[in-house]
Structure 1
Amino acid sequence: MNTELRRRAYLDAMQVATWLPRTELPFAAPSRQELLAPPPAEEPQPAQAEAPLAAVETVREAPAERPRIEIPRPAAQPRQAAVETPVAAPEAVEEKPARVNVPPPRFALQLLRAGDCALLVELPTGEPFQSRDPAYILLKDLLRAAGLPDSPQLLGEPVRWPLLVRGNMDQGPQAALEFVQSFVAARLEEQPSTCLWLVGLPAIRFAGEADEHSYNRELQIDVLGACWALPGLELLMEEPTRKRELWQAMRRVRQRWLAPARS
């Protein structure tokens, strides 16, 4: 509301129809000349002279009320009455699961053979074992404690994942699991083993379909047969307290490959 409309609202609330400002008002409309002419003089009547004076005194005694300015507000829309109309059930739409791009896992595994056992071992550095590597020396100690030859033979090249640095081929966890299992199963078909050692979390996860809660436990895998899950060589060196549980589990599991030799 601008200044002129607000001024007129005040005057209407005070019931003032004609008025003349003392000074020129900003943004005011020009005055009409007919309103500035003096009204004609009328002779007062004696009988009715007291009535206007009484009315004036009454107006003076009454307290002036503060004029209220009505601010226009948007009219509230009437609520529509709820009408119960039958709504047809939406047709079921088969939602396709969104494909999530999972980054490919990274690991390196080496398949070995010692006696009647095959070993799928995590390579801590990603490179083949050297004779003086601390991890390889620890592996030889484990084989001697298990009653197996401490000079394992290599079965193929190391398995490194991801296979490709570039390209659109799926190299997620499921693809890695299928590849590792098929690779190990093909080698075991050529040279069967009594028990497959899964040394390290990548070997347990992508060959045995298990996790770190399966350490020192025996697993039965459909495509690989009897397996034994072991902590990684690097983890055993960093946490020597794990070796005690490993030795205790080995006493039970070693019967798998020692029983045929006794017979």
Structure 2
Amino acid sequence: MIPELRRRAYLGAMQVASWLPRTVLPFAAPSRPELLEPPQADAAADTPVEPVAAPAVARDTAPAPPVERPKIEVPRPGAQPRQVAAVVEEPAPVEEKPARVAAPPPRFALQLLRAGDCALLVELPTGQPFQSRDPAYILLKDLLRAAGLPDSPQLLGEPVRWPLLVRGNLDQGPEAALEFVQSFVAARLEEQPSTCLWLVGLPAIRFAGEGDEHSYNRELQVDGLGACWALPGLELLMEEPARKRELWQAMQRVRQRWLA
């Protein structure tokens, strides 16, 4: 059986004003008593009505096409009502942004040193602290003597090795490494200020001076660290001796900072 509201909608569509069910319908409104009374005779119905002549229609006028009425399906007693599918507008597809892939943590080892009025953040080629007979350490001593600085630099803290943790969910990407290295060096320079900070090696330039390989032999101004000088790595200078000439020319301009 169908609900009362839908039943009335069907009857209204069929232009049925009065109807009586043969059986009691569930969920139906009670019948109105006035519908059960016989229709009263209309006195005017006995009066003959004179036919009215229809207006003449031009022969050239084409007859209007018949109006098609929508077909209405009348529910039968005992039949299950047909489910009316609701038309739902599908939402417009939303472009999904690709998930951000976490950058792998960089790997490097840096040692902070002090020579005279300069601080040095040097890349450790082997990842281990310098030894007196290491070729890289001997080259560093030669650079300090050429710059007019003491050739026996003082260690400032333990080496900084990245990543800090082998396991765990801690973010150790490039941005975290940059923030850590700059904070570490700034804390040491606050204790012992320096005239110029040497950044020796690409990891030192990238994660302390926010530079790259194009910053070699240039001066950088870094917030919190002051004036910095970017140098190629010691291992790179040994592999490519031609870089020492450009380094020496740049040193002639920069050394006035600590010799003054």
Instruction: Give distance in 1, aligned partners of 2:237 and 2:258.
Output: 23
The corresponding residue for 1:29 is none
Instruction: Give distance in 2, aligned partners of 1:211 and 1:235.
Output: 14
Question: Residue 119 of structure 1: SS of its match in structure 2?
Answer: strand
The corresponding residue for 1:217 is 218
The corresponding residue for 1:228 is 229
Letter in 2 for 1:118: A
Shift of 1:126: 0.2
Question: Residue 247 of structure 1: SS of its match in structure 2?
Answer: helix
Shift of 1:246: 0.2
1:108-119 → structure 2 map (5 Å cutoff): 108-119=109-120
- Structure 1 pair 255–88 and aligned structure 2 pair: CA distance change class (3 A): farther
- Indicate yes or no: 2:213 matched with 1:245: no
1:141-180 → structure 2 map (5 Å cutoff): 141-180=142-181
Shift of 1:213: 0.4
Shift of 1:96: 5.9
Unpaired stretches in structure 1, ≥5 consecutive residues: 1-86
Instruction: Give distance in 2, aligned partners of 1:191 and 1:148.
Output: 17
Instruction: Give distance in 2, aligned partners of 1:149 and 1:96.
Output: 55
Letter in 2 for 1:162: P
- Structure 1 pair 255–95 and aligned structure 2 pair: CA distance change class (3 A): farther
Instruction: Give distance in 2, aligned partners of 1:253 and 1:156.
Output: 26
1:15-30 → structure 2 map (5 Å cutoff): none
Shift of 1:130: 0.3
Instruction: Give distance in 2, aligned partners of 1:226 and 1:95.
Output: 44
Shift of 1:99: 2.1
The corresponding residue for 2:199 is 198
The corresponding residue for 2:138 is 137
Instruction: Give distance in 2, aligned partners of 1:235 and 1:90.
Output: 56
Shift of 1:102: 1.4
Question: Residue 204 of structure 1: SS of its match in structure 2?
Answer: helix
Shift of 1:159: 0.1
CA shift digits 1:39-81 (9 cap, x unpaired): xxxxxxxxxxxxxxxxxxxxxxxxxxxxxxxxxxxxxxxxxxx
Question: Residue 109 of structure 2: SS of its match in structure 1?
Answer: strand
Letter in 1 for 2:143: L
Question: Residue 207 of structure 2: SS of its match in structure 1?
Answer: helix
Report how many aligned residue pairs link the two structures: 172
CA shift digits 1:96-116 (9 cap, x unpaired): 662212111000000000000
Moved more, 98-107 or 119-128: 98-107
Shift of 1:90: 5.5
Instruction: Give distance in 1, aligned partners of 2:96 and 2:258.
Output: 51
Letter in 2 for 1:239: E
The corresponding residue for 1:207 is 208
Question: Residue 137 of structure 1: SS of its match in structure 2?
Answer: helix
Letter in 2 for 1:132: R
Shift of 1:223: 1.6
Instruction: Give distance in 1, aligned partners of 2:211 and 2:92.
Output: 42
Aligned-pair Cα RMSD in Å: 1.9
- Structure 1 pair 236–94 and aligned structure 2 pair: CA distance change class (3 A): same
- Structure 1 pair 151–102 and aligned structure 2 pair: CA distance change class (3 A): same
Instruction: Give distance in 1, aligned partners of 2:186 and 2:175.
Output: 16
Instruction: Give distance in 2, aligned partners of 1:163 and 1:240.
Output: 33
Letter in 1 for 2:162: W
CA shift digits 1:151-171 (9 cap, x unpaired): 000000000000000001011
Instruction: Give distance in 2, aligned partners of 1:95 and 1:183.
Output: 39
- Structure 1 pair 99–149 and aligned structure 2 pair: CA distance change class (3 A): same
Question: Residue 203 of structure 2: SS of its match in structure 1?
Answer: helix
Shift of 1:240: 0.3
The corresponding residue for 1:52 is none
